[in-house]
Each structure stands twice: as structure tokens, then as C-alpha cells.
């Protein structure tokens, strides 16, 4: 399957923005009977994501050209420029560790067995910018259950592809490679945590983490590891890449918490890409009603 870079994609091939920005008008034009069905289909992913209809999706062009993906460079524009070297086929994803059924999955087996459903998620970066992204994916928890985690499994460790030929940024020493991230198992099993295979209804582009990446909407963006090749269920909290590099700046949990400043800037406000003014940052990125119970009794300043 070929994945086109943004310059190669005709505007007619990308989902019309009006379908996202003016859903109610679209429903009205389909007639009363069809409207009821359409409204349910459109609203379900928004409600499941804890999303409001006032959250307008960020344009495809911005989502695919303003990224953090250090495997292709440290500038926000670098991934779109350099990620054409990534080959998302063939691709395998290994699930191992504290499981009864370890397995190496082929990516095409994954996308066939787990059809993508749209989830329009807020995405908050630690550098105080944010987007609203129509991901297509499926629940990470459902995928992990295929491996039958043992009672010893407490965390999930995720590892990105390590191949400097495909990922030229890995030729630098800016980070220790490969990139590693982790979640507590109950976080990974939460229905808001998804594995992403699509963006705006198309295969996720290379620069956005092809062919499969994580999206955890109540956490800062660096937790949403890209181009995953391994998931390992483990007993102890894994050491994540940014924790290793700068432990005073990046903790394991990385929950969006406006009360905890980054040492070099405030997290109290954010700028949504495409907007002129900043807006207040929401605790848990606005998903507190769904996920706050995961952290009952925890000091979220200490466990940041």
C-alpha cells in the first residue's frame, strides 16, 4: 500500500473540511430519516472522546507539516521534509513480555482485524501548542487483550523503529535511540487510549507516525509514541526516553496539568494551531471526567 506525502495528495482526495466544521448543516441536507442515523454515527466518536462540537479539527496541512518526530529532525517542519525515507510496508509489531500469547503481528493483519474508527482528539504538546486531530484507530486495550497479559503485567513499554537509514535523525545523538515510552497497564486499557492507523480517513502519513502510533489524549504529545515496532508488558515502570534525557523536566505520567509548569515555560495556557490568541489549558486536556479516577489519591505535582 502506497502512502503519499502531503504535496502529492490532491485536495479532492482529502476529507472536505466542511464535513468536520459544519456537521449539523450536512445532516440537515440528508433528510429527517437519514439525519437520525447520520447524527448518531457522527456524534458517537465525539462523545466517546469527550469532545465538544465547538472543537474544530485542525486542517490536514497543519497536522502533517507541524510535528515533533526527532527521528526525522528537531525542527517542526523536518518530519514532513524527511519522512519520505520511511517504509511503512512491510512492517511488524511484536507484543511480548508478561503475556500468555506473545505474537509478532503484520501491520496488514492488524488493520484487517481492527478496523479504524474516527476519534476526534485534542492533542496538547508540552511546548504549549495544541491541535484537534481526527485520528482513525482502535482501542489499545482490545489489542493488548489478544496477548492475554499475566497478573504480573503492570506497565506497557512501547518502542519505535530504530533504523538510521529510514530515520535520518537517528544518526544524531540528540536522543538515545530507539525512542521508548510507557503507560501503566490500567492507562493502556482505558478506552480513550488508541492505536492510530489513519488521519482524516487516510493511512496515517509517515511524518505523523506511520504505519501505527499511539494516541493518549489526556497526556502531553510526547507520550504518543510513533512508528511502533514493539510493545512489552513488564512488571516495573519503564524508563521513558525523555525521562532519561531530562528527568527534571519530563516525568513518567505526563498528564496535562496546568498547575505544573515546565521548568522553562508555563503550562497554564496554550495556543491552538491556527488561532491568534492563547486559551486556558484544561486539566487532563479536558478529559478529566473520563480519566481522573485513574489517579485518585495521587499527588499530580509529584507524579507529573
What's the whole-number mean pLDDT along residues 49-73? 86
What's the whole-number mean pLDDT along residues 290-294? 98
pLDDT of residue 54: 66
* pLDDT > 80? residue 300: yes
Task: Work out how many domains the chain is built from and give that number.
Answer: 1
* pLDDT > 80? residue 14: no
- The range of the structural domain enclosing residue 131 comes to 6-295
Q: Is residue 301 part of a domain?
A: no
Q: Is residue 46 part of a domain?
A: yes
Q: Is residue 85 part of a domain?
A: yes
* pLDDT > 70? residue 126: yes
Looking at every residue in the chain, the average pLDDT score rounds to: 87
Q: Is residue 220 part of a domain?
A: yes
Q: Give the containing element (helix H, strand E) for 181.
A: strand 180-184
- The grid coordinates of residue 96 equal 511480548
pLDDT of residue 203: 98
Instruction: For residue 17, name the pLDDT band (cuts at 50, 70, 90).
Output: very low
pLDDT of residue 212: 99
pLDDT of residue 46: 39
- 30 with 106: CB under 8 angstroms? no
- Give me the residues paired with residue 267 across strands: none
Q: How many CB atoms lie within 10 A of CB 2?
A: 7
Q: Is residue 138 part of a domain?
A: yes
- For 135-193, the pLDDT digits (tens) are 999 999 999 999 999 999 999 999 999 999 999 999 999 999 999 999 999 999 999 99
Lookup result for grid cell 513480555: 97
Report the range of poorest mean pLDDT among 12-21, 211-220, 225-234, 250-259: 12-21
Q: Is residue 199 part of a domain?
A: yes
- For 254-269, the pLDDT digits (tens) are 999 999 999 999 999 9
- 11 with 69: CB under 8 angstroms? no
Q: Is 70 helix (H, G, I), strand (E, B) or coil?
A: helix
* pLDDT > 50? residue 3: no
- For 193-209, the pLDDT digits (tens) are 999 999 999 999 999 99
What's the whole-number mean pLDDT along residues 77-93? 98
pLDDT of residue 295: 98
Q: Is residue 304 part of a domain?
A: no
Rounded Cα gap, residues 89 and 66, in angstroms: 24
What's the whole-number mean pLDDT along residues 106-123? 98
Rounded Cα gap, residues 214 and 245, in angstroms: 21
Q: Is residue 246 part of a domain?
A: yes
Residues above pLDDT 90, as percent of the chain? 82
* pLDDT > 90? residue 15: no
Domain of 147, CATH number, reads 3.90.420.10
Instruction: For residue 39, name the pLDDT band (cuts at 50, 70, 90).
Output: very low
* pLDDT > 60? residue 7: no
pLDDT of residue 92: 98
pLDDT of residue 45: 43
Residues above pLDDT 70, as percent of the chain? 82
- The closest alpha carbon to 20, from 183, 132, 184, 159, belongs to 132
pTM metric for this prediction: 0.85
* pLDDT > 90? residue 283: yes
Amino acid at each position: 500500500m502506497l502512502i503519499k506525502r502531503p504535496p502529492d495528495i490532491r485536495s479532492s482526495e482529502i476529507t472536505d473540511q466542511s464535513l468536520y466544521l459544519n456537521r449539523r448543516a450536512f445532516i440537515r441536507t440528508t433528510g429527517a430519516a437519514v439525519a437520525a442515523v447520520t447524527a448518531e454515527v457522527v456524534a458517537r466518536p465525539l462523545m466517546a472522546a469527550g469532545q465538544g462540537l465547538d472543537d474544530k479539527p485542525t486542517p490536514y496541512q497543519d497536522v502533517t507539516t507541524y510535528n515533533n518526530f526527532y527521528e526525522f529532525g528537531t525542527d517542526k517542519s523536518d518530519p514532513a521534509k524527511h519522512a519520505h525515507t520511511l517504509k511503512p510496508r512491510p512492517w511488524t509489531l511484536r507484543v511480548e513480555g508478561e503475556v500468555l500469547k506473545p505474537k509478532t503481528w503484520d501491520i496488514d493483519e492488524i488493520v484487517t482485524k481492527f478496523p479504524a474508527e474516527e476519534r476526534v482528539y485534542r492533542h496538547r504538546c508540552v511546548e504549549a501548542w495544541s491541535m484537534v486531530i481526527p485520528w482513525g484507530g482502535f482501542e489499545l486495550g482490545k489489542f493488548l487483550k489478544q496477548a492475554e497479559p499475566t497478573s504480573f503485567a503492570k506497565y506497557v513499554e512501547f518502542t519505535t523503529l530504530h533504523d538510521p537509514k529510514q530515520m535520518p535523525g537517528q544518526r544524531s545523538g540528540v536522543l538515545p535511540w530507539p525512542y521508548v515510552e510507557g503507560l501503566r497497564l490500567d492507562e493502556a486499557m482505558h478506552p480513550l487510549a488508541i492505536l492510530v492507523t489513519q488521519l482524516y480517513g487516510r493511512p496515517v502519513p509517515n511524518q505523523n507516525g506511520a504505519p501505527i502510533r499511539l494516541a493518549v489524549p489526556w497526556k502531553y504529545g510526547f507520550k504518543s509514541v510513533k512508528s511502533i515496532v514493539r510493545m512489552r508488558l513488564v512488571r516495573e515502570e519503564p524508563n521513558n526516553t525523555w525521562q532519561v534525557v531530562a528527568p527534571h523536566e519530563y516525568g513518567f505520567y505526563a498528564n496535562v496539568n496546568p498547575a505544573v509548569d515546565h521548568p522553562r515555560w508555563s503550562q497554564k495556557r496554550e495556543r491552538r494551531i491556527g488561532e491568534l490568541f492563547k486559551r486556558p489549558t484544561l486539566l487532563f486536556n479536558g478529559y478529566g471526567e473520563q480519566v481522573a479516577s485513574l489517579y485518585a489519591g495521587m499527588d499530580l505535582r509529584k507524579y507529573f
